[in-house]
């Protein structure tokens, strides 16, 4: 989103509009036209801001953030040198158990994550944030299922246009959140075991430490990424911190469950 009172560069605004129309038309994921394509990470986030601002008219304000590409393997696959931040909009944040329709997505992708709810403002001026300093601002932790839409992307071609992942808001379509646990500091989040299940069958297991060594490192990364762009995390924002296990592509009729030890579990049914 553009700074208050400051109009976006026409090319950036046009790129955001192109993305919004591509999503509305259910077009497969692909690069922006050459004249509109981002030429830098900064431009890619500017386009993301325009795209998210257009979606916010129907889906509500930015109420949280995600981090993508937390592993070196994923960054290599997409041609990126760093992780990627994306915005989550108010009406796309659901409380579990929840239901969504597969038909509402080009290709629904679900990830199994630990989420944090922010209890105090973290403005840009407070950066850089560390795992220790960011922990003091966390009011609750909870299991989460990220809802994403890769729009039938051809993964073999992602490296050809690496900045598109940023511009396209890291494919986020929201999240399903479990019950918030305010006593989360009593839990060893790094050692916490997460179990992903589809229709009662275990499809993956991981630990909190599988996300950048600790999910709080991912949270600090998001805060610092926002700060570098002059933005902040605010009270009540929710941040999902990256999947503990491999992504799943559920179909209509599937039931997904993420069990996160002492943080409880969260469920999603796909119609």
- Residues 185-209 have pLDDT tens digits of 999 999 999 999 999 999 999 999 9
Is the per-residue pLDDT at 2 higher than 60?
A: no
The predicted pLDDT at position 7 comes to: 52
Query: Does any domain span residue 32?
Result: no
Give the chain's domain count: 1
User: In this structure, what CATH number is given to the domain that contains residue 127?
Assistant: 3.90.850.10
- pTM as predicted: 0.94
Query: Does any domain span residue 29?
Result: no
**Each residue's pLDDT tens digit, 78-96:** 888 889 999 999 999 999 9
Query: Does any domain span residue 266?
Result: yes
The predicted pLDDT at position 74 comes to: 80
- The residue among 78 and 135 whose pLDDT is bigger is 135
- Alpha-carbon distance of 50 to 174, in angstroms, equals 18
Containing domain of residue 157, as a range? 62-270
Query: Does any domain span residue 8?
Result: no
The predicted pLDDT at position 229 comes to: 95
Query: Does any domain span residue 232?
Result: yes
Query: Does any domain span residue 176?
Result: yes
pLDDT band at residue 73 using 50, 70 and 90 as cut-offs: confident
As a whole number, the mean pLDDT across the chain is 94
The closest alpha carbon to 186, from 235, 138, 252, 222, belongs to 138
- Complete DSSP assignment for the chain: -PPTT-PPPHHHHHHHHHHHHHHHTTPPP-PPPTTTS-SSHHHHHHHHHHHHHHHHHHH-SEEEEEEE--SHHHHHHHT-SS-EEEEEEGGGEEESSEEE-GGGSSSEEEEEEEEEEE-S-B-GGGPSP-HHHHHTTEEEEEEEEEEEE-TT--GGGGGGSTTHHHHTGGGEEEEEE---BTTGGGS-TTT-EEEEEETTEEEEEEEGGGTTTSHHHHHHHHHHHHHHTT--B-TT-EEEEEESS--B---TT-EEEEE-GGG-EEEEEE-
Is the per-residue pLDDT at 253 higher than 90?
A: yes
The predicted pLDDT at position 5 comes to: 43
Query: Does any domain span residue 72?
Result: yes
In this structure, are residues 240 and 67 in contact, taking their beta carbons and an 8 Å threshold? yes
Query: Does any domain span residue 69?
Result: yes
């Amino acid at each position: 989103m553009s700074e208050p009172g400051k109009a976006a560069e026409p090319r950036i605004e046009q790129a955001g509009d192109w993305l919004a129309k591509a999503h509305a038309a259910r077009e497969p994921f692909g690069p922006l036209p050459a004249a509109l394509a981002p030429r830098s990470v900064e431009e890619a986030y500017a386009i993301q801001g325009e795209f998210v601002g257009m979606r916010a008219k129907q889906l509500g304000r930015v109420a949280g953030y995600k981090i993508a590409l937390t592993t070196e393997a994923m960054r290599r696959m997409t041609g990126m040198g760093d992780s990627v931040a994306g915005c989550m909009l108010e009406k796309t944040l659901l409380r579990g158990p929840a239901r969504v329709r597969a038909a509402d997505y080009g290709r629904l992708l679900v990830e199994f994550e630990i989420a944090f709810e922010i209890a105090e403002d973290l403005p840009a001026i407070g950066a850089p944030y560390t795992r220790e300093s960011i922990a003091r601002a966390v009011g609750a932790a909870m299991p989460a299922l990220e809802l994403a839409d890769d729009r039938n992307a051809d993964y073999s071609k992602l490296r050809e246009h690496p900045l598109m992942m940023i511009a396209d808001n890291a494919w986020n379509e929201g999240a399903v959140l479990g019950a918030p646990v305010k006593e989360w500091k009593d839990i060893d989040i790094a050692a916490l075991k997460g179990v992903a299940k589809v229709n009662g069958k275990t499809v993956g297991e991981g630990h909190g430490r599988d996300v950048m060594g600790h999910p709080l490192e991912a949270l600090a990364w998001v805060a610092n990424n926002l700060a570098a762009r002059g933005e902040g995390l605010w009270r009540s924002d929710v941040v999902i911190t990256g999947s503990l296990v491999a992504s799943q592509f559920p179909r209509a009729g599937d039931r997904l469950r993420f069990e996160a030890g002492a943080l409880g579990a969260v469920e999603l049914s796909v119609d």
